[in-house]
Amino acid sequence: MRHLFLAVLAALAAMLCMTPLARGASLEDGVRLVAPTQSFDGRTGGELLGDVWGRIYAEPRPDNPWFGNGDPCTRMGNTGNVVFIAHNESLCTVHEGTLVLIHAFFATCDNVSPPPDYGADEATQRVCAFAYTGGVQVGLVSVDGGEPFDLRKARYGVYSPQRAVQLPAANFLGIPPQPATFTAHGWVAVLAGLRPGLHTIRSENTFADGSYIFTKLVNVLPNDD
């Protein structure tokens, strides 16, 4: 069940080249959806996805934000200007200009889990991870109740570079501490330009056997706070 994780959120610098919104998307004025084909605070979309999973693997469960513990805002990038909210219905507070990684659905495979989550090397881990994410028929994301847009498109699909981690005691896999490698795949993007205030981001992923819905909250503070 560790693959059934979804999330969504907000904000990016105006200098970046913005990807057009999917047909039917409805966002407030000035908000843009950016595909993960460029650098965000010095990190590619794939590297950011690896950073998210790196924290999930490396932190013991009592401190792991994936289980609603610790700081729900995972800060990434060269200066910490990218955030990701791991836990459903968690609230993350940021300032204007902070980038927030969003995703419809993502998954990881590693060299320490039993099948079907096992991959001996990067190539097999990529195939394994996509076996989960490729099963998403629709990955809808909406912001503040607007019409949803579908991230399940080629331009939003990324693989993380393979990462080496040290699993701690009480890790999220529930196995003894040990070194591990993993590779992730996901449908990800960045939202740019959220205005100050509280925003709700909803992600709904549909599979052949049902759907999974997650909601995240982001409170954007003006930069003079």
Q: What is the pLDDT of residues 121-165, one digit of tens each?
A: 999 999 999 999 988 888 888 888 888 888 988 899 999 999 999
- Would you kindly state where each structural domain of the chain is located, as residue ranges? 5-221
CA distance 27 to 17: 17
Count of Cβ atoms closer than 10 Å to residue 146 Cβ: 15
CA distance 125 to 159: 10
The full 3-state SS of 51-103, as one line of letters, equals HHHHHHHHCCHHHCHHHCCCCCEEEECCCCCEEEECCCCCEEEEECCCEEEEE
**pLDDT band at 27, cuts 50/70/90?**
low
**pLDDT over 60 (residue 21):** no
Q: Is 23 helix (H, G, I), strand (E, B) or coil?
A: coil
**pLDDT over 50 (residue 111):** yes
Residues 58-83, mean pLDDT to the nearest whole number? 88
Higher pLDDT, 211 or 225: 211
Which pLDDT score is estimated for 225? 65
Strand partners, 34: 190
Rg (CA), the chain: 16
